[in-house]
């Protein structure tokens, strides 16, 4: 597979101390990769450096094997979609879309055809003469994406483009973006702090923290096998318990778990809520008391107070909580655990 974008030892530090250090990342042609992390982790710094809106302190950025560091944003083979739609309110959809093509001196017939095709792609055919104010937020964002697509960028950059939309619309826009990406084969770099968004649309996720990359992997791998405690905390819901390594095994009270990383001393166990098992018989487990049962659509979230170990959460199919009640004593065990050094 061809490498479309290569970030090599990128460093950009601000006077505040924020920024990124020594970031290296290769993005394949046709890949949708997401930079994910909390505010201030450096993800937008990386994106804006690719687009030419920030000048790095050191490092290099190659697109299609050519360095773009010296090129201004308008000369780079990139296009950016921002959080705010950045459409001109006094111009029609057609004129908003045609603006960049006219600057490139395309023929009118070619512009007409290109706009007709891209509006069909974003399911807004017939909207050419509407003004942005006549469109919904989701439709305006689709026009903003279409305007970027028309420039035929080698890399499309998206800076939290759906954050201003409501939850239902965000979900629809993710699906549409994924469909556009598969139809066009475009290489995309997407920035978000929304883990659900990252899990749902990405080929690979880059988890960032304090200006560094914690892990790069597929959504499934990052969910199932987070490499660091931070990645485990940031991706999906997770329970954390304190344990200790004794005789080569990870122990919590009388329960023993594998020590695949050969850790020693105090450790932190991470357990997904769906891997928390509840028993009400004589099975081995940690004693606990059910505090809350919340039915959340097709599943239920059960909160259990483990005496001396804090409160953990278990996800159960909705039909499996009919026999459970608040205050009930249960035994708790875990189908799968992840173990990390205690920080």
Residues 306 and 157 in one domain: no
- Same domain, residue pair 314 and 267: yes
Q: Are 157 and 99 in contact (CB under 8 A)?
A: no
Predicted confidence (pLDDT) at residue 283 exceeds the cutoff of 90: no
C-alpha span between 140 and 142 (Å, rounded): 5
Task: Name the pTM for this structure.
Answer: 0.88
Angle at 338 between CA 278 and CA 301, to 5 degrees: 35
pLDDT at res. 323 = 85
Confidence of residue 274 (pLDDT cuts 50, 70, 90): very high
Same domain, residue pair 181 and 36: yes
Would you state the pLDDT for residue 182? 85
Contact 107, 44 (CB under 8 A): no
**Per-residue pLDDT tens over the stretch 102-129:** 888 888 888 888 899 888 888 888 888 9
In angstroms, how far apart are the furthest CA atoms of the chain? 79
Give the C-alpha separation, 32 to 197, whole Å: 12
244 and 203 in one domain?
no
Q: How far apart are CA 231 and CA 63, in angstroms?
A: 28
Kindly state the percentage of the chain with pLDDT values over 70: 99
So what's the pLDDT on residue 44? 92
Q: Do residues 73 and 154 both lie within one domain?
A: yes
Where do the DSSP E strands lie in the chain?
3-13, 19-28, 32-36, 58-63, 66-67, 78-81, 155-159, 188-192, 204-209, 212-217, 239-246, 249-252, 255-257, 266-271, 276-279, 286-296, 299-306, 310-317, 329-334, 338-341
- Output the average pLDDT for the chain: 90
Q: What is the CATH number of the domain that holds 279?
A: 2.40.50.100
Range of the domain at 57: 3-231
| Residues 25, 110 within the same domain | yes
Q: What's the 3-state SS for 267-291?
A: EEEEECHHHEEEECCCCCCEEEEEE
Mark which of 193, 212, 231 sits at the end of a domain: 231
Residues 21-55: tens digit of each pLDDT = 999 999 999 999 999 999 889 999 999 999 999 99
Q: What are phi and psi of 200, to 5 degrees?
A: -85, -25
| Final residue belonging to a domain, choices 231, 246, 271 | 231
Domain boundary among 231, 247, 272: 231
**Residue 5: strand pairing partners:** 27, 63
Tell whether 254 and 127 lie within a shared domain: no
Helix 137-150 × helix 167-184 angle, to 10° = 20
Q: What is the domain-level CATH number for residue 96? A: 3.40.50.300
Total count of domains within the chain? 2
**DSSP secondary structure, 49-106, as one string:** HHHTSS--SEEEEEETTEE-TTS-GGGSSEEEE-SS----TTS-HHHHHHHHHHHTT-
Query: 298 Cβ partners below 8 Å, 6+ apart?
Result: 317, 318
Tell me the angle at which helices 108-121 and 137-150 cross, rounded to the nearest 10 degrees.
130
**What b/e readout covers 257-288, taking b as 16+ CB neighbours within 10 angstroms?**
bebeeebeeebbbbbbbbbbbbeeeeeebbeb
Do 328 and 249 lie in one domain? The reply is yes
Q: Can you tell me the distance from the alpha carbon of 184 to that of 176, in angstroms, rounded to the nearest whole number?
A: 12
Across the range 239-249, mean pLDDT stands at 92
* Rounded-to-integer distance, Cα 308 and Cα 332, Å: 13
Segment 61-71 mean pLDDT: 95
Same domain, 38 and 78: yes
Residues 258 and 149 in one domain: no
Is the distance from CB of 267 to CB of 290 less than 8 angstroms?
A: no
Q: Say if residue 66 is exposed, middle or buried (CB neighbours under 10 Å; 0-12, 13-18, 19+).
A: exposed
Containing 170, the helix (H) or strand (E) segment is helix 167-184
Question: Are residues 208 and 314 located together in one domain of the fold?
Answer: no
Q: Domain check: are 218 and 326 in the same one?
A: no
Whether residue 1 is predicted with pLDDT greater than 70 in this model: the reply is: no
CA dihedral sign, ordered 215, 217, 222, 224: negative
């Amino acid at each position: 597979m061809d490498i479309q974008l290569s970030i090599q030892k990128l460093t950009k530090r601000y006077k505040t101390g924020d920024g990124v250090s020594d970031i290296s990342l290769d993005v394949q042609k046709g890949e949708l990769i997401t930079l994910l992390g909390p505010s201030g982790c450096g993800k937008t710094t990386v994106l804006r450096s690719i687009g030419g809106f920030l000048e790095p302190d050191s490092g290099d950025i190659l697109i299609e094997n050519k360095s773009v560091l010296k090129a201004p944003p308008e000369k780079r083979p990139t296009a950016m979609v921002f959080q705010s739609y950045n459409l001109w309110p006094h111009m029609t959809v057609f004129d908003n879309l045609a603006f960049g093509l006219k600057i490139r001196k395309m023929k009118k017939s070619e512009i007409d055809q290109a706009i007709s095709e891209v509006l069909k792609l974003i399911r807004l055919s017939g909207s050419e003469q509407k003004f942005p104010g006549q469109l919904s937020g989701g439709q305006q964002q689709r026009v903003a994406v279409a305007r970027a697509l028309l420039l035929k960028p080698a890399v499309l950059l998206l800076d939290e483009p759906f954050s201003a939309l409501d939850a239902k619309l965000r979900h629809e826009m993710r699906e549409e973006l994924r469909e556009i990406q598969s139809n066009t084969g475009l290489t995309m770099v997407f920035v978000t702090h929304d883990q659900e968004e990252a899990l749902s649309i990405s080929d690979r996720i880059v988890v960032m923290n304090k200006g560094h990359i914690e892990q790069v992997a597929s959504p499934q791998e990052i969910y199932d096998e987070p490499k660091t405690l931070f990645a485990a905390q940031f991706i999906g819901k997770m329970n954390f318990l304190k344990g200790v390594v004794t005789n080569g095994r990870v122990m919590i009270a009388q329960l023993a778990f594998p020590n695949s990383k050969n850790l020693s001393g105090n450790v932190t166990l991470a357990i997904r809520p769906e891997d928390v098992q509840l028993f009400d018989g004589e099975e081995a487990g940690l004693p606990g008391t059910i505090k809350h049962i919340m039915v959340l659509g097709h599943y239920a979230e059960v909160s259990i107070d483990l005496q001396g170990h804090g409160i953990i959460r278990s996800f159960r199919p909705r039909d499996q909580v009919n026999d459970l009640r608040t205050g009930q004593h249960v035994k708790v065990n875990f189908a799968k655990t992840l173990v990390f050094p205690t920080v």
